[in-house]
Amino acid sequence: MSVAIDSPVANDSNLKVPFLWRFRPQYFHKIWGGDRLQVFLKKDVGGLKQCGESWELSDVPPNPSQVAEGPCEGMSLPDVLHRFGSQIMGKQWTATGTSVTRFPLLIKFLDAREDLSVQVHPNDVLAQERHGCPGKTEMWYVLEAEPEATLITGFRGEMDPETYTRMLQAGRIMEMLNQEPVAAGDVFFIPAGRIHTIGRGIVLAEIQQSSDITYRLYDFDRVDERGERRELHTEEAIDALDFRKYNSYRTSYSEAGDAPVELVNCPYFRTFLLKLTRPMERVGHDHLSFRVYMAVQGSGYLEAGDEHMEMKLGDTVLVSAQAGCTRITPGFQGLSLLETGLPALNSVVA
């Protein structure tokens, strides 16, 4: 059910705007997907085979999220922002003069039973020019990885368009790419333009710009259920690729129990890891930004004002900027969360 923006719910002037929002996940079949979203994260995918992605919070057409519970149940995220945008998004967003009509992030969980395609995402300029949408910068937090699991990010050596094209045409693309071993808790930042793929046996949380534009470069010569190979985007990708070699592709951080640890701070989002064994209060100064919490281990609950929501592994909750303070209480075995907001988000431990 979708609630239109002219519905009684949306136009009820006496409606108290919720502090805490839970949305219905959307599940997607992928040729590389498996069953770990059901088995590990306990997602109800409704019998979907090879479920590769759970979109937890989306404003990407044509798949906007819908509110799962509370007084606004059934409203789509675009409708919610149309009605309550500034209260949810915060002063940091509205101060830019941007119309609050689209949520800037896409929040996902992914299960890679097999390797994803080798791919790249365009930056904002190229994506806007070609597709009329934002580019795609993203980050990954690994929840689970099989022994010897790996992923690819960036080039292993110096590269240029001519050498890249020659090796690609010769079927030698894998020789160019940097491969990283993966374990639970690893973090990788993937800016637009960086060649990458998620390897088999990995479950991860993905935080990214609100875009679903992907240029596929190599798909391991596999075929879909119809016996057809998926489309490649070789020519489109040339202009999108960053051919530079970097000294490190892995995000380093030091865990700190019961203290926020910054993982990524980029122009599109800022993400912290919270590993809690005791209650913590997170204060969004001056109502600057919304916050999104993803439970990546354990269980507990969130409180804001007189509202509370349970959190368990695989859950995602959006906290309105107007909430100000959020109290997080871990369960008996602790609770680990990813906390994401706009880059100027300045949360502190109260």
Active site residues per annotation: 216
* Preceding peptide of 122 cis, ω within 30°: no
| Beta carbons within 8 Å of 96's beta carbon, 6+ residues apart | none
CB atoms within 10 A of CB 91: 18
Considering only CA atoms, which of 49, 46, 64, 154 is closest in space to residue 107? Answer: 64
Considering only CA atoms, which of 98, 197, 100 is closest in space to residue 153? Answer: 197
How many C-alpha atoms does 10 have within 13 Å on its Cβ side? 18
Three-state secondary-structure class, residue 146 = coil
Structure tokens at 342: 């706009």
Q: For the chain, where are the alpha helices, taking DSSP H only?
A: 8-11, 36-39, 77-89, 91-94, 124-131, 161-169, 173-176, 234-238
CA dist 179 to 37, 149, 153, 195, 249, Å? 25, 10, 7, 11, 10
How many C-alpha atoms does 24 have within 13 Å on its Cβ side? 20
Beta-bridged to residue 59, according to DSSP, are: 64
Contact 110, 98 (CB under 8 A): no
